Structure 1
Amino acid sequence: MMEHNKPSKSQIIVSSYVNGGRPSSERLGNLVACMQSTGADVVKLIVEVNYITEVAPILQMLTHCQVPLIATAVGSRGLISQLLAPKFGGFLVYGCLKSQNVPGLPSLVSLKQVYQLDHVNPWTQIFGLISNPVSHSKSPILHNYALRHIGYNGIYVPLLVDNLKEFFRTYESMDFTGFSVGIPHKEAAVACCDEVHPLAKSIGAVNTIIRRPTDGKLIGYNTDCEGCITAIEDALRGKIFVLVGAGGAGRALAFGAKERGARVVVFNRKFERAKALAAAVSGEALPYECLDSYCPENGMILANASAIGMEPNTHKTPVPKEALRAYKLVFDAVYTPRITRLLCEAEEVGAIVVSGVEMFIRQALGHS
């Protein structure tokens, strides 16, 4: 628990728990006013939320409350109520022990080492990763360190988003400066941007969004292409590039591989999506069931751009071990865990392996 203003004497905290229904600003405002009228020195508000957009009225209350306010949004979508509380004037921030896992509460270790909330103030700019799921991501560790390293007054937070359009409609303040976009929102993000970079438009997916400071418009980019391909580009030219997954990351990989002279073959559980992507890069789409036995030549390159093998399903792999003998290089965009079952088995049969961590770091360079 971090305390921002130490009281000089004993004080009374009046607390209320709100659950059921969408917590509107008007409803919370009336409740806070009622609690203030009791003569409370500090008001404590605990609100059950189902969506991250329901945290916005809570942050608004922090800004306008006339007495010190402690506000907590309960649930995994409510994490930013704690991480952003110092920016909006929150009185206290809660954290949990590392051994515990409380939805909506950051760990004490992350508060001190990753987010360093003691340095967050009203002028801090907000960045974040929009994804679902998002708790597995290492992005906050990397980006918060980078922001501190360059002396920029910013914080990078995980954003568990269900409805992308509603999220941007709700958080339209200039305080929300930029976003990374992860699974499953990369393709939907294109329609949410006011302007899209030509490369991202041709790929049909956005993984980076910047709010332009001059007019507040959202500008979309795609750094997946460079992040993925530069990790493996030396081996691409003239090779068969077998791609698993036709989502946002898959599209970026396919375009990048084509640009560097590879022959792209796409496998996806939904065959229609595989065909559409293959047509866009003058490649070939094959039914997903054929992936295990596909072997027109040895020395191919395999790239997994699906979520297969990601925590918590670390026992899964898109291609069985025996089939991996046909590949010279195997790349896995999954980076939690760092070494997936796919990469482990590929290494065992003698293939060169490239972890998603490589892509992750190069993406981060592209974001900055």
Structure 2
Amino acid sequence: MPMQANSPVYAVIGDPVAHSLSPAMHNRALAACGLPGVYVGFRVTDLPVAVAGIRALGIRGVSVTIPHKVAVMPLLDEIDDTARRIGAVNTISNESGVLKGTNTDGLGALKALETVTAVDGRRVAILGAGGAARAVAWALSNAGAKVALFNRTVPRAAALARQMNLEWGRMDNLARWRAEILVNTTPVGMAPDAGAAPVAAAILDPAMVVMDIVYNPLETTLLAAARRLGCTTVDGVQMLVFQGAAQFERWTGVAAPVTVMRQAVIEALSPTLTHRHGQAAVF
């Protein structure tokens, strides 16, 4: 649809932001749905001024990426329960000048897993104890999964588990958890260590569902090992697309064209996709 003077503007803010796949994904979605608007990227170093600009310029919706997901929270007018419990905002909606924050990262992981399996009542092992682990753990436990956190830095996993009322363990005790779903939220498997995996293949079981939030390469070393063993696998692009789809629907009120959005991401990634160079899930 041709741009008009009053066409809505959407954006992603972060530092850096040039690598973001969100513009390719959201602009393709807008076009596929015949909606006016444009989605752009802004490198932001002065967050309070940027948030004031969102309000002053009437930017309709904003994706928030690192390093601003936590710092943006006190600058907004409203924060929903999801973002408050996760402790970070990745989505801002501008509703007549009222800036509302939420978080779709965990929902993106949940939706990605639900394309291949139900999570209610399933035993889930999450590798990592950072912001991504917190978002994924909240969404899956809220959906009825039995979640445990495993991290190489044991005190960090224990602290996060206590905050979220989850179980936790050392990486060398992972097999004892008998996970039915394994989710890697760590950066292990990305360049310059793209040949690495967060766990040994011996930990895996053919009945497992294995998800990795690293999305370049599409098939990480972990996912390749899982596939060879017969596990069901979920790549990081799925989470990226589903968290973006939730944003799109919140901003436009229109069902997101998920297949179109995934294709846009794959095409945007294709010039840089290699078997040995990876990228973490930064949206």
SS where residue 176 of structure 1 aligns? Answer: coil
TM-score normalised by length of structure 1:
0.59
**Aligned-pair distance for 1:218?**
1.6
- Kindly state the Cα deviation for residue 273 of structure 1 after the two structures are TM-superposed: 4.1
Q: In 1, distance between residues paired with 2:168 and 2:179? A: 19
- 2:132 & 2:78 partners in 1: Cα distance? 20
Counterpart selection for 1:260 from 139, 143, 167: 143
- SS of match in other structure, 2:56: coil
Task: Please identify, of 156-165 and 346-355, the stretch whose mean Cα deviation from structure 2 is larger.
Answer: 156-165
Q: Which amino acid aligns with 2:240?
A: F
Distance 2:29 2:62 in 1: 15
> In structure 2, what is the Cα distance between the partners aligned to 1:357 and 1:145?
16
Percent identity at matched positions? 37
Once the two structures are TM-superposed, the CA of residue 282 in structure 1 deviates from its matched residue by: 1.9
Q: Which residue of 2 aligns with 1:320?
A: 200
Checking the alignment, whether the CA contact within 8 Å between 2:206 and 2:229 is kept in structure 1 is: no
Structure 2 residue 14 is matched with structure 1 residue 131: yes
Q: Distance in 1 between matches of 2:40 and 2:89?
A: 19
Given the alignment of the two structures, is residue 336 of structure 1 paired with residue 216 of structure 2, yes or no? yes
Is 1:357 aligned with 2:244?
no
Q: Hey, what does 1:4 align to over in structure 2?
A: none
Task: Say if 2:188 is the partner of 1:308.
Answer: yes
Determine helix, strand or coil for the equivalent of 2:246.
helix
CA distance in 2, matches of 1:339, 1:266: 23
Any idea what the Cα deviations from partners look like across 1:239-288, whole Å, max 9, x if unmatched? Answer: 331112333332221112212332221134554543333123321233xx
The structure with the larger Rg is: 1
Instruction: Pick which of 271-280 and 146-155 moved more.
Output: 271-280
SS at structure 2 position matched to 1:173: helix
Q: How does 1:79-94 map to 2 (within 5 A)?
A: none
Partner of 2:119: 236
CA distance in 2, matches of 1:267, 1:163: 35
SS of the aligned residue for 1:142 comes to: helix
User: Structure 2 CA distance, aligned partners of 1:326 and 1:248?
Assistant: 29
Give the alignment partner of residue 167 of structure 1, picking from 38, 50, 65: 50
Residues 236 and 224 (structure 1 numbering): CA distance in 2 closer, same or farther, change over 3 Å? Answer: same
Aligned amino acid, residue 336 of structure 1: N
How far the C-alpha of 1:311 sits from its partner, in A, is: 5.5
User: Could you tell me which residue of structure 2 aligns to residue 64 of structure 1?
Assistant: none
Q: What CA deviation, in whole Å up to 9, does each residue of 1:48-92 have, x standing for no partner? A: xxxxxxxxxxxxxxxxxxxxxxxxxxxxxxxxxxxxxxxxxxxxx
Describe the shift of the 1:273–1:173 C-alpha distance in structure 2 as closer, same or farther (beyond 3 A): farther
- Could you tell me which residue of structure 2 aligns to residue 201 of structure 1? 84
Which amino acid letter does the alignment assign opposite residue 180 of structure 1?
S
**Cα distance in 2 for residues equivalent to 1:226 and 1:276:** 23
Alpha-carbon shift at residue 330 of structure 1 (Å): 0.9
Q: Secondary structure at the match of 1:344?
A: helix
1:367 and 2:250 correspond:
no
Which structure 1 residue ranges, 5 or more long, are not aligned?
Answer: 1-115
Alpha carbons 1:236, 1:260 under 8 Å: kept: yes
Q: Shift of residue 293 of structure 1?
A: 4.9
Q: 1:312 to 1:186 in 2, by over 3 A?
A: farther
- Say if 1:160 and 1:311 are closer, same or farther in 2 by CA, change over 3 A: farther
Shift, 1:300, TM fit: 2.9
Q: Which one of the candidate residues 186, 208, 229 is aligned to 2:69?
A: 186
Q: 1:194 corresponds to which letter in structure 2?
A: D
Asked if the contact 2:30/2:37 (under 8 Å) is kept, the reply is yes
Measure how far apart 1:325 and its partner are: 3.8
Listed one character per residue, the Cα deviations across residues 146-172 of structure 1 (whole Å, up to 9, x for unaligned) are: 122333332112333345445324554
Checking the alignment, whether the CA contact within 8 Å between 1:292 and 1:319 is kept in structure 2 is no
In 1, distance between residues paired with 2:222 and 2:103?
Answer: 26
User: CA 1:238–1:171 in structure 2 vs 1: closer, same or farther (change >3 Å)?
Assistant: closer
Q: What is the Cα deviation at residue 128 of structure 1?
A: 1.8
CA distance in 2, matches of 1:169, 1:237: 41
Give 1:13's aligned residue: none
Aligned positions, number: 246
TM-aligned CA distance change 1:179 to 1:281, over 3 Å: same
Post-superposition CA distance 1:83-103 (Å, at most 9, x none) = xxxxxxxxxxxxxxxxxxxxx
Partner Cα distance (1:169, 1:254) in 2: 32
8 Å CA contact 2:201–2:225 kept in 1: the answer is yes
* 1:313 shift after superposition: 5.0
Q: Select the residue among 139, 145, 148 that pairs with 2:28.
A: 145
**Structure-2 separation of matches of 1:128 and 1:162:** 15
How far 1:355 moved relative to its partner? 1.2
Work out the CA distance in 2 between the residues paired with 1:309 and 1:169: 38
